[in-house]
């Protein structure tokens, strides 16, 4: 059996995805010594095996999803919406803490004890929902009043459910929705209205949080602290993560210290997730860091090429909505490590450790690859799906 019959869609995207995922093993293995020898939790081999299982499960998600005709996701976007809202509400109300820190963005999956970040699943789902709405009204005159209830109310609901525990994800999701609606031909003057409404809603939320700090402890103060630390170019204790990150990058030089020879991984918190790019540059040098940037830029290039080739609006929007956030998140993570942006907590897609981030990135790749599969796009004999027929009537 030929590989073309097994792996559908854009072969270049498949290769780039595999390269990013397998490149992650050495940095994750190296950075995990922070938890093993400094914190005293687990072993580097154990963390490597855990990451291997996570990546393999993620590839299974990609493979299964990419075999599904992408038009089926129209129905899923409608049916899954109440489930997503329920998960976000449950996550916001269950009030889990980890070592005294606010961890209300995670829930425990019963029986297997794995933590899952529901906001990342909501991120993928909402962009599929927006793409479906825009495709459904592609040839109709859209008014602000009618689109507000069907489009923007769900968007604002999900964004504001994510906001209290995860500002960076909520902000990025809102920006990606605006980008997607712009690409989908939604009137620009309406986008200005929505942007203003979102800014007003954020201001109101901050004022309420400041007035009633016991309702959302530490969240607004955390945001303000991160912005102040970013603006204050000093070596204060509160800015130690960025200083250690910059030290790791500066000592890497052109060719780096070599795989596994990072020194700052023993001092830098979140060295295998939020700040893994600093460890990569320290061990593989500026050239290694640039090569990684090049991989993400190639992903972006293939996204643009495939979006241009796709004729149906829903497929085009799915490619943009699933692909661009991956690259956007990658550059946010790198920008934080370089102190170009404030600390956000965004991981490096397919490279950082962490189950939810890897799985949702693989889910997005699966949807993207489903669209790029030529057999799925050109098949005129695609079987009817009752889920799609139901969604079209809504």
Res 65: pLDDT: 94
Res 164: pLDDT: 83
DSSP strands (E only) in the chain: 97-98, 101-102, 106-109, 114-117
Bridge partner residues of 106 (DSSP): 117
> What's the CA gap between 151 and 157, in Å, rounded?
10
How would you write the pLDDT of the chain (394 residues) with one tens digit per residue? Answer: 566 677 888 999 999 999 999 999 998 988 887 766 655 566 778 888 989 999 999 999 999 999 999 999 999 989 999 999 999 988 888 755 444 444 556 777 665 556 778 899 999 999 999 999 999 988 888 888 889 999 999 999 999 999 888 888 999 999 999 999 999 999 999 999 999 999 998 888 888 877 777 666 556 666 666 666 666 655 544 477 888 888 899 998 899 898 888 888 888 877 888 889 999 999 999 999 999 999 999 999 999 999 999 989 999 999 999 999 999 999 999 998 888 888 887 899 999 988 888 999 999 999 999 999 864 445 444 445 444 444 444 4
Is the Cβ–Cβ distance between 67 and 369 less than 8 Å?
A: no
And the tokens for 161? Answer: 């459910």
- The region, left, alpha or beta by phi > 0 then psi within -120 to 50, assigned to residue 111 is left
DSSP SS3 for 106? strand
DSSP SS3 for 185? coil
């Amino acid at each position: 059996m030929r590989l073309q019959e097994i792996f559908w869609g854009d072969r270049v995207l498949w290769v780039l995805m595999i390269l990013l995922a397998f490149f992650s093993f050495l940095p994750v293995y190296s950075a995990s010594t922070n938890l093993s020898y400094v914190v005293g939790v687990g072993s580097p081999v154990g963390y490597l095996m855990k990451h291997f299982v996570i990546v393999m499960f993620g590839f299974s998600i990609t493979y299964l999803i990419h075999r599904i005709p992408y038009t089926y996701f129209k129905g899923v976007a409608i049916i899954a919406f109440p489930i997503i809202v329920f998960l976000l509400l449950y996550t916001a109300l269950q009030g889990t803490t980890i070592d005294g820190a606010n961890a209300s963005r995670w829930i425990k999956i019963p029986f297997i004890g794995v933590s899952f970040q529901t906001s990342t699943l909501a991120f993928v789902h909402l962009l599929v929902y927006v793409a479906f709405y825009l495709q459904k009204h592609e040839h109709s005159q859209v008014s602000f009043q009618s689109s507000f209830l069907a489009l923007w109310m769900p968007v604002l609901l999900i964004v504001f459910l994510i906001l209290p525990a995860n500002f960076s994800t909520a902000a990025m999701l809102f920006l990606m929705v605006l980008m997607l609606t712009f690409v989908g031909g939604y009137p620009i003057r309406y986008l200005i209205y929505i942007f203003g409404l979102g800014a007003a809603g954020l201001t109101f939320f901050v004022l309420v949080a400041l007035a009633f700090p016991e309702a959302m402890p530490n969240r607004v103060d955390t945001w303000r602290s991160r912005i102040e630390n970013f603006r204050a170019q000093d070596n204060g204790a509160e800015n130690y993560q960025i200083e250690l990150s910059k030290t790791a990058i500066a000592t890497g030089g052109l060719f780096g210290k070599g795989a596994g020879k990072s020194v700052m991984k023993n001092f830098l918190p979140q060295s295998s997730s939020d700040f893994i790019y600093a460890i990569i540059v320290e061990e593989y040098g500026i050239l290694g860091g640039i090569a990684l940037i090049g991989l993400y830029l190639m992903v972006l290039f293939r996204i643009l090429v495939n979006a241009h080739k796709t004729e149906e609006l829903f497929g085009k929007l799915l490619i943009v909505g699933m692909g661009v956030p991956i690259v956007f998140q990658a550059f946010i993570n790198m920008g934080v490590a370089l102190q170009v942006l404030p600390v956000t907590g965004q991981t490096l897609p397919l490279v950082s450790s962490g189950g939810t981030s890897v799985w949702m990135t693989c889910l997005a790749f699966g949807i993207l690859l489903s669209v790029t599969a030529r057999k799925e796009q050109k098949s005129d004999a695609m079987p009817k799906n009752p889920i799609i027929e139901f969604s079209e009537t809504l």
